[in-house]
Structure 1
């Protein structure tokens, strides 16, 4: 979640990491090289006010590090001055010799967020959508609670880099309340309410529950901060009514990442490329479950825009980033410059993919606090169109 967290108390973190050994001693039948960085967190944003809590990160090996990739987990445990709770845990776990991968995304939010309507043309300011009569278009407030449970298990195909598997996914949005400057209001004029009413969903609670079929190519050296090779993920979600979905539907997600070294001597000098697509294939899904910017697993897409700034039935996103060291012979400090672009379609507003593209760009600083595991604090400032911008602090690389 891009809440602009100040992943703070660098002295505490530095002392914690410097006390850890970087030597690799493999102990069979034990979790090896387990390291946790308990990052205190403080920050603010317009949707949540001030946030306080913890943003811990953990890395470890489930087998011999020579033959097993590093597992990682990133969490958020936050409370805000607007009496909101944000709990999340995102993980990639590799079993011994990479025979299995477990991908988890668990969240509990009691929060609020602005929505702007569907499609890439949704404006910053509030207005009425001419294609829909009196339905509002542009910035509109929403309070809601979210329970998310995604867990996927993938099995390696022989000795290859390919995995196939299945998982279960559940999204429950509840206590949904639209609001404007005068306070809470439920109205068919609000984009969220108008869309859900037109598709036959409730406006205050809905559920998406189903099975995901997955294929993954995992070829990165270290997933949290890759220097080379590539990664691909294809996921097809089937959401039948008998598993609890309000209406049957299906969605397709495509994710590809590629890392190109610019120097054999300094592999941290590289170009990182990311292509991401999310599509409603059949049926209808509720408004807040439609593909949206920054609702990818780690909430890293769309630097330069707020979470949920763009939303639609289909989404295509791309990003390119140059990552480079800032020291001649050390890896502690690094920098990055990036550009991204997103496009959304909407049947409601009769907008097709690529009718409009929303670009973003920016730069950032990297502080590597553990060289062996490449645990990194990333601070970025991004710019979007029409005055959109944002400051982002995260643990590990953006993608």
Structure 2
């Protein structure tokens, strides 16, 4: 869905809360805490006007000489379409990086368009030629989401590798499909047709599972890396005895690499990102299928609306050129990026790599804390068939 207008105004006071004694570090205590309260006002067609807060924080749980920076990003928003959007995402490194705690908590009372499954899902609504009687193209959905994801990982010796487990819970409820099209009552919505065919409720369902995780964390600062790389392999099992409506398993692979182009100005770099999310066994409810824009920080698919493409398997890739805009200062920077995603669906007989949905765009960066690299990012992306969007966030996209 094309975003017609987005206006985000940051109105706040930046304050820094430092430890009283920065020369003596105690394990598992907070040091050099930096809190950035960012009141926000925004507008887009999906949410209307949005009002609230977009705070972020960085800190150390040990000596910065041997402990990576922890970070938190939150959103607390209310919209003129009577939507509530609350989220909390965090990466916490304990003393000497021995443990990593990764959290993704959300509570949404919201609405969002869905377009059907596969990479070829069109913008305009109409009957799916592959499934007579089923709607395809833009369909509006109201729903509530409660999400609790928490992962604990242990460092392997003195290496950059971590192993751990996590618990992931999603509750979608109060799901309602609707359309302004005159013939909508004659067609079955994509969400309902998919779930009914698999014996899943159309108005409420739970996905509850355990993840086995392996991470390589080699970035210098996770919120805005200048060099090195990151990798994640996560296998998720969703058994019915933990509450899942259907048993299933998935695998997620995520790799990011940062190629520094200048030793003098390390902000001058090329960043690449590859991600795959695959259904391995069983059946997932519709809204739990791999989808664009539903990664942890919602940064994939700039140029497309969240949920624009969805399928049983997903492959996504992105490359971004980042550069400073000042000769001797780091306050302002810029970026240009390209991305592409491909989705498979058994319902539409689409396979991975049969079709890609590319996007491209450019952006502005404003670094409000040089030491911690806390950065406000503003991007505009263009996609296929008139899709486009404006994105304003805290910290780099990946």
Same fold, judged at TM 0.5 (above):
yes
User: How far apart in 1 are the matches of 2:44 and 2:381?
Assistant: 15
Q: Is the 8 A contact 1:54 1:76 kept in 2?
A: yes
Q: Counterparts of 1:106-255 in structure 2 under 5 Å?
A: 106-181=105-180, 189-255=188-254
User: How far apart in 1 are the matches of 2:23 and 2:219?
Assistant: 23
Q: Is the 8 A contact 2:15 2:35 kept in 1?
A: no
Q: Counterparts of 1:38-117 in structure 2 under 5 Å?
A: 38-117=37-116
Q: CA deviation at 1:188?
A: 6.2
| Structure 1 residue ranges (4+ consecutive) displaced by more than 2 angstroms after TM superposition | 2-5, 23-27, 185-188
User: How far apart in 1 are the matches of 2:303 and 2:269?
Assistant: 22
Structure 1 residues 90-147: Cα deviation after superposition (integer angstroms, max 9, x where no partner) = 0000000000000000000000000000000000000111110110110000000000
1:363 is aligned to 362
Q: Is the 8 A contact 1:378 1:393 kept in 2?
A: yes
Structure 1 residues 183-237: Cα deviation after superposition (integer angstroms, max 9, x where no partner) = 9x88861000000001110000000001000000000000000000000000000
Q: Say which SS state the counterpart of residue 273 (structure 2) adopts.
A: strand
**Which one of the candidate residues 19, 25, 39 is aligned to 1:27?**
25
Q: Say which SS state the counterpart of residue 28 (structure 1) adopts.
A: coil
Q: Is the 8 A contact 1:51 1:80 kept in 2?
A: yes
Query: Is there any run of 5+ residues in structure 2 with no aligned partner, and where?
Result: none
User: How far apart in 2 are the matches of 1:372 and 1:143?
Assistant: 42
Q: CA deviation at 1:181?
A: 1.6
User: How far apart in 1 are the matches of 2:23 and 2:191?
Assistant: 54
Q: Counterparts of 1:319-338 in structure 2 under 5 Å?
A: 319-338=318-337
CA gap 1:394/1:5 in 2 versus in 1, 3 angstroms: farther
2:295 is aligned to 296
1:8 is aligned to 10
Which range is displaced more, 187-196 or 214-223?
187-196
Q: Is the 8 A contact 1:177 1:186 kept in 2?
A: no
Aligned residues between the structures:
392
Taking only aligned residues, the RMSD between alpha carbons, in angstroms, comes to: 1.8
Q: Say which SS state the counterpart of residue 133 (structure 2) adopts.
A: coil
Q: CA deviation at 1:16?
A: 3.1
User: How far apart in 2 are the matches of 1:207 and 1:186?
Assistant: 27
Q: Say which SS state the counterpart of residue 166 (structure 1) adopts.
A: strand
2:353 is aligned to 354
User: How far apart in 2 are the matches of 1:361 and 1:398?
Assistant: 14
User: How far apart in 2 are the matches of 1:182 and 1:341?
Assistant: 30
User: How far apart in 2 are the matches of 1:321 and 1:53?
Assistant: 30
Q: Is the 8 A contact 1:212 1:236 kept in 2?
A: yes
Structure 1 residues 268-319: Cα deviation after superposition (integer angstroms, max 9, x where no partner) = 0000000011111000000000000000000000000000000000000000
Q: CA deviation at 1:27?
A: 3.0
Query: Is there any run of 5+ residues in structure 1 with no aligned partner, and where?
Result: none
User: How far apart in 2 are the matches of 1:333 and 1:223?
Assistant: 19
Q: CA deviation at 1:26?
A: 4.2
Q: Say which SS state the counterpart of residue 130 (structure 2) adopts.
A: helix
User: How far apart in 2 are the matches of 1:190 and 1:136?
Assistant: 5
Q: CA deviation at 1:5?
A: 6.9
CA gap 1:199/1:326 in 2 versus in 1, 3 angstroms: same
User: How far apart in 2 are the matches of 1:297 and 1:237?
Assistant: 15
Normalising by structure 1, report the TM-score.
0.95
1:309 is aligned to 308
CA gap 1:387/1:24 in 2 versus in 1, 3 angstroms: farther
Matched, 1:278 2:277: yes
